[in-house]
Amino acid sequence: MCENVDKREVKAIIEALLFVWGDPLSIKDISKILEIKENKVEQLLEEMIDDFNYNRRGIKIIRLENKYQLCTRPEHYPWISKLSQQKGTKSLSTAALETLSIIAYKQPITKNEIERIRGVRCDKVIETLMNKELVEEKGRLEKTGKPIIYGTTDEFLRYFGLESLSDLPELKDFNITDEEINNVEE
């Protein structure tokens, strides 16, 4: 369909798709919709990212692994927050950040493993992280009781401005003892 369409028009269609979909959209899906090759879609998206940045547009395109999404520029947050008034949106508690960190670095991980590392129960914290769509159930372990295993989501990547989990800082970059690192790595 779009092989013979003007390049500017194809970019406009991609922008419209990202806008309407809202959530991250994969190169594969965009490619199917436009009926053009995935590498061409990726090239167009990279050009669009450069163009949006160069022209200092109010929105930008971010990459989350092999998916793309439109979002506002973080530097515009003070003005956007005045419009939306952020009802009920609170920052994460220390317990939630600790639990989320454990899940991010150890995933997939069970609730019991998280509780063993933290030393406290974490039912409510996991529920909060799931409600904020930062964590999700990734399946069940094939062992007695079939415990649920948890992992992070695309929303987690977007929330922390990461393209992929490989962008997480190394544990050695934190001011923690070797014993604490070994406990997390075990």
Write out pLDDT tens, residues 84-96.
665 455 678 888 9
State pLDDT tens for residues 42-96: 999 999 999 999 999 999 999 988 899 999 988 988 888 777 665 455 678 888 9
State pLDDT tens for residues 105-137: 999 999 999 999 988 889 899 999 999 999 999
User: What is the per-residue pLDDT for 109?
Assistant: 95
109-110: strand order across its sheet: 109-110, 148-152, 135-140
The CATH number of 94-185 is: 1.10.10.10
Residue 1: is its pLDDT beyond 70? no
What's the mean pLDDT when you consider all of the chain? 86
User: What is the per-residue pLDDT for 90?
Assistant: 60
Residue 107's closest CA among 67, 138, 141, 129?
Answer: 138
Domain boundaries, the chain: 7-79, 94-185
Give mean pLDDT, residues 154-159: 90
Instruction: Indicate the fold that domain 7-79 takes in CATH.
Output: Arc Repressor Mutant, subunit A (1.10.10)
Q: Is the pTM of the predicted complex or chain greater than 0.75?
A: no
